[in-house]
Amino acid sequence: MRLTAMANAWLEQSNNTAFADLSFDERLAMLVDSEWNNRENKRISRSLKEAKLRISQACIEDIEYSARRELEKATIRQYALCRWVTEHQTILVTGKTGTGKTYVSCALANQACRKGFRACYRRAPRLYDELRLARADGTYARLLARLAKTDVLVIDDFAITPIAEVERRDLFEVLEDRSESRATIIASQLEPKLWHDYLTDPTTADAICDRIVRGSLRIALKGPSRRKNRGDVEDSDLQSPVVETLP
């Protein structure tokens, strides 16, 4: 029956006299809890492994709330409920290099995995490469379908390099499939107000920005890079995020 954790817990109860005074119902409840917890831990481990988060240990609980950060703990607690996932919202994480964009993005995705959702992390340049290769070997439609089914897609390092026409089209296809049906996190050094110009083509830029900017949540990370001090590579939640809702 594959109740390994329950069996191990039963052996522990049998070999420990401290459990003798407990009622049958209490001991059975402990056995069930052991099996449930074991399965939940395995599920979360599988989800995090599949997500391939750049910072797998990033979590909501480790975000700091010093006064100068101007970040409300209540806001992060609200995000921890993952309503933004069930409501298929987009979160834009922006800030200069080294301010912790990747950490915050991975922490949000990690929390989604813990809540039972599936997540997927991709750096924008790698995502474009993956889509280009998929088009070449005939698996393009399959890859798009897989990305469309993922509950939370994290696109990191967006707008870090010039975008080609084929990449712009691929990005539109990915976002179109997810629009109002899945949640997305986009991390970028470039402010959202500059994304339209970055995308260059007015028609495609309008379509893309309408899907990811309008009505999205924003986390703007402030402060200088701390990599030199701690040797991190976008893997530390260090500076002060300011959360707002875009119109």
Specify the pLDDT at position 237: 54
Q: How far, CA to CA in Å, does 170 sit from each of 127, 176, 183, 194?
A: 9, 10, 18, 20
3-state secondary structure of 94: strand
User: d(Cα 208, Cα 233) in Å, to the nearest integer?
Assistant: 28
Specify the pLDDT at position 245: 46
Angle at Cα 128 formed by Cα 124 and Cα 131, nearest 5°? Answer: 135
User: d(Cα 149, Cα 131) in Å, to the nearest integer?
Assistant: 16
- pTM listed for this prediction: 0.81
Give the distance from CA 165 to its chain's centroid: 27
Specify the pLDDT at position 221: 81
Specify the pLDDT at position 30: 77
| pLDDT tens for the 247 residues of the chain, in order | 677 777 777 677 778 877 777 787 877 787 777 766 766 677 777 888 999 999 989 999 997 776 565 667 788 788 899 999 999 999 999 988 887 889 889 999 999 999 999 999 999 999 999 999 999 999 999 999 999 999 999 999 999 999 999 999 999 999 999 999 999 999 999 999 999 999 999 999 999 999 999 889 998 887 656 555 555 544 445 444 454 444 4
The tokens for 204 are 């495609």
User: d(Cα 77, Cα 150) in Å, to the nearest integer?
Assistant: 23
Question: Phi/psi class of residue 212: alpha, beta or left (left: φ > 0; alpha: ψ in -120 to 50)?
Answer: alpha
Specify the pLDDT at position 220: 85
Overall CATH class of domain 53-245: alpha beta
Specify the pLDDT at position 54: 94
User: d(Cα 173, Cα 128) in Å, to the nearest integer?
Assistant: 11
- Residue type at 243? V
